[in-house]
Amino acid sequence: MKNLYMFSDYLNNKLKKHGIHYGWAMAFLAFTTTLFSSAIMTIPHVLIIPITKEFGWNVSDISTPIAIMFVMLALVAPFGGALILKFGVTKIVTISFIFSIIGILSTTFIFEKWHLIGTIGICLGISSGMLGLSLGATIATRWFNVRRGLVMGLLASSFAAGQLTFVPLMAWLTTIYDWRIAVLPVLLGAGFSILLFILFGKNWPSDLNIPPYGDKEIFTPPPLSKQNAFFLSISAVVTASKQTTFWILALTFFICGVTSTGIIGQHFIPFCADNNIGIVVASSYLALMGVFNFIGTMGSGWLSDRYDNFKLLAIYYGLRGISLIYLPYSNLDVYALTLWAIFFGLDFIATVPPTVRLTGKFFGTVNGPIIFGWIFAAHQLGNAFAAYGAGVIRDTALTYLPAFLTAGLFCFVASTLILFLRNQKSYQ
């Protein structure tokens, strides 16, 4: 292992000569890792149609493993930050992507329905839950004293961009070649991420005898806890749950999951299909959203370093609510959908940087990433709630209109809760 440390030491010395802090190297590692980790979550949705066609299965046969994946993700996510604190970022990234690689490779050899429960449901669920946004929150909190919001914006944008851009890529590969070939980019990306972290990954700035970016003093992290990671996470959230702040941040992030990945990520393509818009065209709008999500989330990170994060969140949720209500009432032509995709893309995960900053502000450098893991779990529950609920509404009402209207109203509730928290923050 000592020989491997030479790579990070060498890179650190090279960056120092150019006045670049090693935190930016860690941000780059986290960016690529989060990009491929989030792309893993898109694989099942891309494979639904080709797998059902090849084996003659029903959509519900694949929906069950996908639901299990989200359940596993929500169960594991609260402990992602604690696992990183306990074992270090490199080990957790490696273990996470090993689960991914096993799940992806095993999926290409399936021939029975129940096989998908193990490959997609369990392996990909555990992999996605171990990292999620906890890795980004950990890197941003540990390595940056200033520009923390900008860094989290960068990493959050990679999470959404991975989901939105890999859908059309894998869909294209599926049509040109085979669905088994379509998973190769994500598979190779997982292996590449493991290699980068083994060579260059560090847990704390103090490992390189440097302070966090923007600080002059070296932060000495607490010794590794002998406590089980499970109990470490539970202990942290029990303490946090005594504050109103935690519950409001968790509830608003639940709404974020409902109104972003839950309804748009899962139901935008079916919504377009209901309106005679093809899958490839609909996927292109998701890709366009991914481009502008990158811009919007980066911008949100920049803004969160400079302005009131409570006000920013209230504005983001309010604008998202307006766009969700507008979508089903638009004429759905190329101009309306393009403008909507740009506008919604800018807001898609813009809520993440302010939420991470507020979590770190209220719960600290060490426990902040752990608590954010629980808040992120609330986001995934919101995702699952909308993914299932919007489908039920669509089947019952034969239209997505009530689902989009309800999601829009949820956004206005989130804006109100955040403003309430801002007014009460001095009493927390």
Instruction: Give 49: exposed, middle or buried? Use CB within 10 Å, 0-12, 13-18, 19+.
Output: middle
pLDDT in tens, 99-122: 989 988 888 888 888 888 888 888
Q: How confident is the model at residue 251 (pLDDT cuts 50, 70, 90)?
A: very high
- With H, G, I as helix, E, B as strand and everything else as coil, classify residue 292: helix
Q: DSSP string of 230-243?
A: HHHHHHHHHHHTTS
Q: What percent of the chain has pLDDT over 70?
A: 94
All residues at 6 or more sequence positions from 306 whose CB lies less than 8 Å from its CB, including other chains:
none
- Residue 19, domain member (yes or no): yes
Does position 262 have pLDDT exceeding 50, yes or no? yes
Domain count, the chain: 1
CB 336 within 8 A of CB 146: no
Q: How confident is the model at residue 224 (pLDDT cuts 50, 70, 90)?
A: low
- Residue 59, domain member (yes or no): yes
- Residue 212, domain member (yes or no): no
Structure tokens at 127: 């992999």
Can you give the pLDDT at residue 225?
59
Spatial separation of the C-alpha atoms in residues 399 and 403, rounded to whole Å: 8
Does position 185 have pLDDT exceeding 70, yes or no? yes
Q: DSSP string of 100-133?
A: HHHHHHHHTT--STTHHIIIIIIIIHHHHHHHTT
Q: How confident is the model at residue 79 (pLDDT cuts 50, 70, 90)?
A: confident
Structure tokens at 205: 């700035």
Can you give the pLDDT at residue 428?
41
Counting Cα atoms < 13 Å in the Cβ hemisphere of 44 gives: 29
CA dihedral sign, ordered 112, 113, 117, 123: positive
Can you give the pLDDT at residue 410?
96
Spatial separation of the C-alpha atoms in residues 3 and 404, rounded to whole Å: 55
The tokens 């991420």 sit on which residue?
Answer: 193
CB 376 within 8 A of CB 77: yes
Does position 161 have pLDDT exceeding 90, yes or no? no
Q: What is the mean pLDDT of the chain?
A: 84
Spatial separation of the C-alpha atoms in residues 1 and 415, rounded to whole Å: 49
Which is more confident, 311 or 41?
311
- Residue 260, domain member (yes or no): yes
Looking at the DSSP assignment, which residues form a beta bridge with residue 213?
144
Question: In 3D, which of 99, 88, 180 has the Cα closest to residue 135?
Answer: 88
Which is more confident, 426 or 193?
193
- Residue 361, domain member (yes or no): yes
- Residue 93, domain member (yes or no): yes
Residue range(s) defining the domain that contains residue 328 = 2-207+229-427
One-letter amino acid at 390 equals A
What's the alpha-carbon Rg for the chain, to the nearest Å? 21
Q: How confident is the model at residue 174 (pLDDT cuts 50, 70, 90)?
A: confident
Single pTM value for the model? 0.76
Counting Cα atoms < 13 Å in the Cβ hemisphere of 195 gives: 6
Angle between helices 352-397 and 229-240 (to 10 degrees): 90
Question: In 3D, which of 313, 321, 371 has the Cα closest to residue 141?
Answer: 371
Can you give the pLDDT at residue 292?
87
- Residue 54, domain member (yes or no): yes
- Residue 17, domain member (yes or no): yes
pLDDT in tens, 11-64: 888 888 888 999 899 999 999 888 888 888 778 777 777 887 788 877 567 767
Question: In 3D, which of 394, 176, 181, 159 has the Cα closest to residue 280?
Answer: 176
Can you give the pLDDT at residue 427?
39
- With H, G, I as helix, E, B as strand and everything else as coil, classify residue 277: coil
CB atoms under 10 Å from CB of 13, counted, come to 11
Spatial separation of the C-alpha atoms in residues 32 and 376, rounded to whole Å: 20
CATH value at residue 125: 1.20.1250.20
pLDDT in tens, 279-295: 778 878 887 887 888 88
CB 366 within 8 A of CB 360: no
Q: How confident is the model at residue 3 (pLDDT cuts 50, 70, 90)?
A: low
Q: How confident is the model at residue 327 (pLDDT cuts 50, 70, 90)?
A: very high
The tokens 């992030």 sit on which residue?
Answer: 253
CB 338 within 8 A of CB 346: no
The tokens 């740009």 sit on which residue?
Answer: 342
The tokens 């996510």 sit on which residue?
Answer: 77
Can you give the pLDDT at residue 223?
67
